[in-house]
Amino acid sequence: MADKVTIGDVARYAKVSRQTVSNVLNSPEIVREETRRRVRDAVKALGYRASQAARQMRTGRSRLIAARIEPAQEDGINGSVFDRFLHGLTESAARAGYRVLLYTADDHGAELATFDDLLGAYDPDAFVLTSTDYGDPRTTWLLEQRIPFVTFGRPWGVPPERGYPWVDVDGAAGTAMATRYLLDAGHRRIGFLGWPEGSGVGDDRRAGWARTMAAEGIGAAELAELDYRTSDGVPEGEAAAGALLDAERPVTALVCVSDSLALGALQTRRRICVIGFDDTPVARAVGLTSLSQPLAEAAASCVSLLIGQLDGDGAADRARGAAESPPAHRLLQPSLVRRRSA
């Protein structure tokens, strides 16, 4: 194993000083063309790569982004969504010269402790949070500590002045699209299988269905009939779909808040069109039409929002003690993947 090549080795090889090599790497514009070329050749010839540890010592920047890897959920079907997001995150981060550091935590309290731990030891430059919920203590803590972060998920119920950058997928637009698709196919009794009220994501997805149905002239009373709420899970979906199908005026199609519920609905084996949400592997496997989140794009957006804070004028802003521009955010559109079920 070749001994470590240091910036000094490169400097000697290129017959310049350490600092010039450093400049070629970090601010090439201030180095004369010919010197720059010589240094770059030396870097290539020796296979030099800057030691992240040494750089971090001086600059205080670790080029590390911390992300929590979530435990496999009870139901697990939706787990792969996060998996794909994480993959995209790793790729986008690498392109921007950052790496993803994983951590786990069982609850918000443990997660705050982990933040502190990580910041003390590895000192990541930023965090990416997922599964944000109402009154999330993590965002508050990070804002207080002035640690850069982004969330994948909107700040549900957070007043705008406490805003922070986020990326999310427009769930309402997705369910609206699905509903419109079913309406165009001639359906009118289109039910919605959703979660109990109170989850940001769930309520948002329900809203898209509701407003599309309302625009079609369907009244509130009928909507209430068509709106079924249950906790997530395949058996729950089967039961709920059964209830809606056995009603006096049965549904002919269902928009579901998750693939788990949609899969349950499919398992009733009744003549019914079903559309799920998240386009999980299961959906692909069983031919379930589903709304697909652009996860790679979401991850890329997260990284670019972070980079804006980190490499951009973020430091300057924080020094001035003022965040003048409101935090950036991005709302992405899901797409409908047509399969046998609808």
Partner DNA sequence: TTTCAGAATTTGATCGTTCAAGACGGACTA
Partner DNA sequence: TAGTCCGTCTTGAACGATCAAATTCTGAAA
Sites of contact with its own copies (CB under 8 A): 1, 47-54, 56-57, 62, 69-72, 75-77, 79-80, 82-84, 86-87, 90-91, 94, 99-104, 116-118, 120-123, 145-147, 234, 260, 263, 267, 280-282, 284-286
Facing residues of 149 across strands?
A: 127
Q: Pick from its own copies, DNA, none: which does 70 bind, CB < 5 to 8 A by kind?
A: its own copies
Q: How far is the CB of 160 from DNA (least distance, A)?
A: 34
Candidate ranges 52-60, 90-98, 290-298, 334-342; the one touching DNA (CB under 7 A)? 52-60
- Is residue 2 close enough to count as binding DNA by CB under 7 A? no
Dihedral angle of Cα 167, 171, 177, 178, to the nearest 10 degrees: 140
Among DNA, its own copies, none, residue 277 binds (CB under 5-8 Å by kind): none
Q: In this complex, which beta carbon is closest to DNA, that of residue 32 or of residue 269?
A: 32
Task: Identify whether the C-beta of residue 341 lies closer than 8 Å to the C-beta of residue 266.
Answer: yes
Angle at 334 between CA 328 and CA 340, to 5 degrees: 170
Region 56-85 residues binding DNA, contact defined as CB under 7 A: 57-59
Selection from its own copies, DNA, none that 282 binds (CB < 5 to 8 A by kind) is its own copies
Ranges assigned E (strand) in the chain? 64-68, 99-103, 126-130, 149-152, 166-169, 190-194, 227-229, 253-256, 273-277, 289-292, 329-332, 335-337
Asked if 311 interacts with DNA (CB under 7 A), we say: no
Per the CB < 8 A criterion, the answer to whether 98 and 62 are in contact is: no
DSSP-based three-state secondary structure for 62: coil
Q: Which residue has the tokens 């955010």?
A: 329
- Binding mask of the shown chain, residues 7 to 26, with x at each position contacting DNA by CB under 7 A: xx------xxxxxxxxx-xx
Q: Which does 173 bind (CB under 5 to 8 A by kind): its own copies, DNA, none?
A: none
Binding-site string for DNA from residue 85 to residue 104, where x marks contact by CB under 7 A and - marks none: --------------------
**Residue 231: contacted member of its own copies, DNA, none (CB under 5 to 8 Å, by partner type):** none
DSSP state of 168: E
Residues in CB range of 257: below 8 A, 6 or more apart? 175, 192, 193, 194, 195, 201, 202, 205, 206, 232, 277
Q: Determine, following the binding rule CB under 7 A, whether residue 313 of this chain makes contact with DNA.
A: no
CA R_g for the chain: 25
Complex with DNA: residue 44 or 340, whichever CB lies closer: 44
50 or 112, CB closer to DNA? 50
With contacts defined by CB under 7 A, name the span among 49-57, 149-157, 179-187, 255-263 that binds DNA.
49-57
> To the nearest whole angstrom, how small is the minimum distance from the Cβ of residue 155 to its own copies?
22
- Do strands 335-337 and 289-292 pair parallel, antiparallel, or not at all (unpaired)? antiparallel
Cα–Cα dist 145/148, whole Å: 9
**Which residues does 174 contact at the CB level (< 8 Å), separation at least 6?**
205, 208, 277, 291, 333, 334, 336
Residue 266 interacting with DNA (CB under 7 A): no
Shortest separation between residue 95's beta carbon and DNA, angstroms: 19
